[in-house]
Amino acid sequence: MKIHSTLYPYTSQRNAVYGTNGMVATSQPLAAQAGIRILQQGGNAVDAAIATAAALTVVEPTSNGIGGDAYALVWMKETLFGLNASGLSPAALNVEVLKEQGLTEMPTYGWTPVTVPGAPSAWAALNKRWGNLSLLECLTPAIEYAQNGYPVSPTLAKNWAKAVVKFSQLRAQEGGEVYQEWLNTFAPNGRAPALGEMWRSPNHANTLRLIGETNGDAFYKGELAEKIAESSRAAGGYLAASDLVEHQVEWVEPVHSNYRGYDICEIPPNGQGMIALMGLNILKQFEPAKHNDADQMHKQIEAMKLAFADGLHYITDINAMSVEPTELLSDEYSAKRAKLITDQAQQHCHGDPKASGTVYLATADHEGNMVSFIQSNYMGFGSGIVVPGTGIGLQNRGHTFSFDPEHANYLQPKKRTFHTIIPGFITYQGAAIGPFGVMGGFMQPQGHLQVAMNLIDFKLNPQAALDAPRWQWMKGNHVAVEPMMPSHIVQALMERGHDITVSPDCSSFGRGQAILREPGSAVLVGGTESRTDGAVIAY
């Protein structure tokens, strides 16, 4: 992998960042600085990841929060470990109860789609297993940002304003009182904070301090847990104290596929990372792609459509899946699916291998440790529920559950739902290359596939690989492309039957980061998105 390559046919927004002692890449400069601060205080890549993740709940609340979920891939002592910190559905929540209320599908907002938040448990579990510093030390930068305030950045201001409009409208609707605390917290003056305006959240700071002082216990069986459960009970929600007490993270074996000599690693289901791997498995059945070529982009899109057809049909809580991940990732099945790709766009159904609002961060330290970490509330601010007096905004991950008993993601008590958030990691012959990720709902596996190909097939450096124009399959044969996509490619895709929309901006095409290092080298090379307020900081 030519991670130092400067080959790039389009104008790049940034240069790749180089360093040796440590590096942090994420979507907010202040959060990246929090991670670097911890590295310089003697923390390792895991400590830096925790600090960055906690800071992101403060400085980018439009995409994640303390009440969200998280996954991590950790390269430590020459081994890759996986952490699934997504929460289960409440024990009292089931389809029959919701149908009795007249519901025919999972609501998008409010208490009903709230599952057990896992992010604080991820921080605590990572710190307990590998941290050099205490959890409270790792959370201190985030606590200071929340207590003292910070100036709102451009992308953050734009997304915050949209969210205030949305939740103000929901509050105005009959029964919308549950959103009042969100408005009190995030729009106390009746509006979103403006670009450059200072924002502070003392309740958020107090909550982070409690989590740090108790190694996360306050959130699941202490003072914060009591407030969450009481707020749920008062609003008629289903999340109970017992659900919080029973929550446990799960250490998992990463799933991977070898793509042209490199292992692309993802978290196994309930995450959608396997969709990226299935797409790459299909594409490796063809000759290596040529850069800036319409035919290879056509194949990418068709491969991703095939992968989504299978992923959306089969992926759910791994304990409830009807097929094994290895079956979906087998070479035999990938070859079978690849044969369905022709020179024209098609609408694909799932196959049968037997006969799916987020922040991402990457960290690295001078000892060779690396972390790929993703954290999300889903749909921006999540459910629109804030627990009074805590600053805790809760996710709405349960929205992806189905009411169809034949669907893999059928709603059941104590079940993990299909998750869109996915961290990625690349290795080569057992050695770490590094963490990468692209956040943004169902764009995430599409972004993983495109960035991986940019790095491996086209030999772009991390920054160039992230800056390259992207496509996004929407549904059917509808594909959106970024405004900088070359016109000859757009025209050629249309001739192949793709319904192409050239988007007016790049806001829906994901936001990613990457930190890579060639085996045997001490030099770290990092990239971050030109599509957001991101930063790579090294020292």
pLDDT tens column, 208-266: 999 999 999 999 999 999 999 999 999 999 999 999 999 999 999 999 999 999 999 99
Give yes or no for residue 7 having a pLDDT over 50. Answer: no
Give yes or no for residue 12 having a pLDDT over 70. Answer: no
Distance from CA of residue 412 to its chain's centroid?
24
Q: Can you tell me the distance from the alpha carbon of 131 to that of 33, in angstroms, rounded to the nearest whole number?
A: 18
Place of tokens 């009411």: 403
> pLDDT per residue over 54-81, tens digit each?
999 999 999 999 999 999 999 998 999 9
Lowest-confidence pick of 128-137, 383-392, 507-516: 507-516
SS3 491: helix
SS3 50: helix
- Token pair for 54: 């906690």
Tell me which residues are annotated as active site: 358
Give yes or no for residue 351 having a pLDDT over 60. Answer: no
Work out the pLDDT band at 360, boundaries 50, 70, 90. Answer: very high
Distance from CA of residue 132 to its chain's centroid?
26
Q: Residue 13 has what pLDDT?
A: 60
Give yes or no for residue 496 having a pLDDT over 70. Answer: yes
Q: Residue 318 has what pLDDT?
A: 87
Q: pLDDT averaged over the chain? A: 92
Work out the pLDDT band at 1, boundaries 50, 70, 90. Answer: low
Q: Strands across the sheet with 262-266, in order? A: 17-19, 524-528, 511-516, 431-439, 424-428, 262-266, 255-259
Give yes or no for residue 290 having a pLDDT over 80. Answer: no
Q: Residue 288 has what pLDDT?
A: 83
Nearest to 60 by CA among 390, 371, 376: 376
Give yes or no for residue 168 having a pLDDT over 90. Answer: yes
Indicate yes or no: pTM above 0.85: yes
Of the two residues 352 and 274, the one the predictor is more confident about is 274
Do residues 253 and 82 touch, judged by C-beta distance below 8 A?
yes
Place of tokens 């959890």: 135
Work out the pLDDT band at 505, boundaries 50, 70, 90. Answer: confident
Work out the pLDDT band at 9, boundaries 50, 70, 90. Answer: very low
Q: Can you tell me the distance from the alpha carbon of 86 to that of 271, in angstroms, rounded to the nearest whole number?
A: 9
Work out the pLDDT band at 350, boundaries 50, 70, 90. Answer: low
Q: Residue 142 has what pLDDT?
A: 98
Q: What is the mean pLDDT of residues 87-99?
A: 96
Residues 6+ apart with CB under 8 A from 497: 344, 345, 346, 477
Q: What is the mean pLDDT of residues 406-432?
A: 93
Q: Residue 99 has what pLDDT?
A: 96
Lowest-confidence pick of 10-19, 129-138, 451-460: 10-19
Angle at 169 between CA 203 and CA 533, to 5 degrees: 55
Q: What is the mean pLDDT of residues 102-124?
A: 96
Place of tokens 């923390």: 43
Q: Can you tell me the distance from the alpha carbon of 179 to that of 111, in angstroms, rounded to the nearest whole number?
A: 10
Q: What is the CA radius of gyration of the chain?
A: 22
Do residues 309 and 349 touch, judged by C-beta distance below 8 A?
yes
Task: Count the Cβ atoms, other than its own, within 10 Å of residue 42.
Answer: 10
Q: What is the mean pLDDT of residues 345-360?
A: 69
Of the two residues 52 and 519, the one the predictor is more confident about is 52
Q: What is the mean pLDDT of residues 142-163?
A: 95
Give yes or no for residue 92 having a pLDDT over 60. Answer: yes
Of the two residues 371 and 320, the one the predictor is more confident about is 371
SS3 500: strand
Do residues 183 and 171 touch, judged by C-beta distance below 8 A?
yes
Q: What is the mean pLDDT of residues 456-464?
A: 92
Q: Residue 222 has what pLDDT?
A: 95
- Token pair for 283: 């594409």
Nearest to 357 by CA among 120, 68, 103, 146: 68
Q: Residue 291 has what pLDDT?
A: 74
